[in-house]
Structure formats: structure tokens, C-alpha cells
Structure 1
């Protein structure tokens, strides 16, 4: 596949000396939904701001739709739409006017049919009264998306697009993102709702402390790093695990009524049969068995924590 965004050797050091990005290399493929995940302060917004031309890089190169964001910034920016975290709208302007104005900023000719199509797709179409001042926070976010789509970009950045919106609106936005992808738009999504990335993304990138620590296909990532857990509901509580069951992958719940066994489902032997045999040998009765696959959130937390520990260790 063709990389619609190519980031090579990107560094950003602010005047205070803080290094927000460290040697970032990243290729985003045309037509995919790419989820960029990371804790607060990891560098997500800085990376997006550089690609979109809002922040200047200290070192490195960035190509957007084949255009260098510094040398050919007009062409690069015209290929990009950005929906920022912060809501910023003109309270005294109509939705139609503010979206049309955004299109004009990119030198695009007037196209009422396209503006109408965008507004209808976001349930913002109302010829009689489209005053932004009457819109809720969730509707204002839709207006921000409409502004970002007004000039028909090939690349759309959604920086925390569903922050503060209700579940119904969030589902509607997910459906809109899928439709845009079907039209060939590349979507880059940052979110703190891990289930959003799990639901939407084709690939996932994780950034922490200014460094990209992982980029992989979502399904392959969950298969490769995901764990399974078997929960054994006991008939009677235990105060502690017996010696024969006292091993790292098995934990007793705080109330003593359940044991949680973590295992790798890809291994030829999961160890479940051995566990059940030991329960029988110890005369421990159980009422139920329940298994679950680790989620993308579990994987994300483990990766961030392990990376932070490794970086702290190397700094000492």
C-alpha cells in the first residue's frame, strides 16, 4: 500500500529544552483508519500539530500526500483536515457560513452541493436556523468535523473527536468515520476511549514519552500480545492458595471465591487441564468457569508500563 503520510527522523524540542518527540518514524497507509494511542503528555498532539503545519519540527521530514510539509506547505495542508480537541466556533455565525468560510480558506471554489452533503451527513442541515449559538457541545463538535471536511481533504485527523459526547452521538460518529474511509479518506484518530480504537482502527500505533513504541495491525497485535484469562468460581472461599497451586500465573481474588489463571492461548499446552487436575487433587470444588480475551486496553496499559519501567531503569 502507498503511504499517504510519511514521517522520518522527526524530533521536536521546545525552547524550554523539553523534547516532545524523539526520532519518530511512521508511515500511514492511504485509506486506512489509524489509531494513535498514548497517555497524556506522550506527544500525540505535538505529532499531529507538526503534520498539520501548526507546530514547526526541530528535525526530520514529513510528507503528506507526497508533499513536504515545509517546502510545499500549501499543497500539504490542502490535503489535510483537522478536528482539534478544543471546540472553537463563532457564536454569531451560521453553520452554513462558518463551514463555507473554512472551504474558502483553502482556495476552493464555492460548492453549495458539497457543503449541503457534509452538513446532512452530520445531521446539521437546517435551512431556517443554523445558529451555532443554539447547538450543544456534541453538535458543535459535528460543526468542527464539517469544517474539516469542507475542502474535501484526503487525510482527516480526529483528535479526541468524541470527548464529552454521549454514547449515541459517539456511535453516529463511528459510522461517519467508516463512510469516509469507504470514500477513500485516510483517518488518523487519537482517543482515550480504548474501545473506540478497538472498534474502528485497522492499525494501532502507541506513543509514549515522545517515542513510537509499537505500530501493528490491530488484529495481529491482539493475537500476538493478547492474553486469555480463565476465572474459576469456587464453591467455598479460600484464605490462600495451596502450595501446589502457588505459581505466578494464578491469582486468588480478594474475597477468596475465585481464582484467575492467565495463559497464552497460542501455546500448544495452555495448562488448563493441569490446573483442573490439581484442583481435584486438592479437593477444591468449583461452580463455574469463565474465560476472556485481553482487550486492547489491557495491551496498551502493559506496553506503556513496561516501556516506562525500561526507560526509568536506563536513566538510573
Structure 2
């Protein structure tokens, strides 16, 4: 009589590389379900590429510096100058490409400083809720949030010397309270969870509880807000340069280009329309990307529905 041998299931645990590959595939699937998120990612990568390789991609790199060419001033879009020239003969396309550097540097520096400060204050205030530390931090946060952000940035920039660095300082001062308020709400509720209480009972340090137990559970909303805030910071930076409180000539800046072109509307409309369109595209790209990151980090959802 023939005996059938049953196959023994493979109980070997997947390797770390396999788990990482599977996790990345799931994350990309959740991100790519929203086609606008993929478009946003393409826009953001394109903007970063143009900003890095601006001297090699732009048609007239010398037009990003001090240059006057009245023979070609005020030319409308053509095959030679795709987006036209400004009132002193500089190529609009070249100056838009070079202005992407300052536009990306602003949110990079602002969020690199504002996010750690806001997150730290939010963690401390939330974990020590009901104490003098909580009251001091949150009342200070309320004071900053009570002032309109753009008005506060304009006031700070007006006191300081107008340049890119001081405009970044002004925006940073007004931006950290939003992260403090966000993290405060999450950490004040997480402090009563069982895993935090268990860590306290076994004698874990406060630093361990704050940064190893509470902070990892706050990362998803923080990362999502950071992606969405990039567009807002770029818009604030453009507003500051529009009124002359950002980057100074001859360095190109999108807001400054819009301001310069507004004096020649509607005859030389391309001086204002194309830089404004660039601002809109960049902000839309980062907003679409933020929506995709939110979907990718969301939990409790069927990932392959």
C-alpha cells in the first residue's frame, strides 16, 4: 500500500531584506493609488533636479546674474526666449530655474529648525500636562498663534536686514508653534496609554519615554504636515520677496519676479504670469505629495482592496 507523504510547511521567518522589500511594496502601493500623488512626486523631483543642475539646464546661465541687454528687453515668448525676457533683457526661463534654489532652500531650513523645536516643546507639554511646564509652553504657543503668520513674518523681516537668511529666521519663528500644538494633542493622550505606563513602571527614563515610546507614535501626522507645509513656506517666502524683504537683486526670486513684472502689466504679461505659474505648480506638487504620504502612512485600512 502506497503511503502519501504530506509536505511540511516552511516555517522559516522571512529575512530582513524580504520584509523591507515587502514593506516598501505595500507603501508604494498605498501611495500610488492616488494618481495625483504620483504626479506630485514627479513635480517635486523635477523641481529638485532643475534646482541642482540649473547652470547646466538653463539656456542662458549668465542671465541669473548682473546683466543688462536692452537690445533684447521686453521680448515676448519665442523660439529663442521660450518665456520671453524682462524689462532689461534677461531670460525669464533662466531666472525661474535659478530661483528654484532659493524657493526650496527656504522650506528646507525653516522645517529643519522649526520642526525639532515644536516637537520637543509639544512632547514636554503633553507629557507633563497640568504642570507649570505645560502652562508656560502652551501659553507661549498661544501668543504666537494669535498673531497672523504673514504679519508676524513681515514685522520681523522689516526689523532685520532684508535677505534670504533673515526671511528664513522670520518664518521659522512663526512656524514652530503649529508643530508644538500638533504634538501636544497627541502626546497628552498617549501619556495615559498602557505601553507608556509600563515603561514608567519598569523605571525607564523620561528621555526614553518621550523619544522611544511617545514620539514614534506621532511621526505619521508630523511627516504628513511637513510635506504639506513645504508649499505654504514657499508661498510665504514668495510673499516676502514680493514686497522686497526676501532675496535681493540680482539674485532671482519668484516673488520678486512677480513684483517686478506687475509694473509692466498687461503689455509684458509674461514677466508676471510665468513666475506666478511656477509658484502654483510647485505648491500643487508638494500638496499632492503630502496627500500621498498621508495615505501611505495611514493605518487600519485594507491595503490591497
Higher normalized contact order (CA 8 Å, seq sep 6+, divided by chain length)? 2
Which of the two has greater strand per residue? Answer: 1
Tell me the TM-score normalized by structure 2.
0.26
Higher-helix-fraction structure: 2
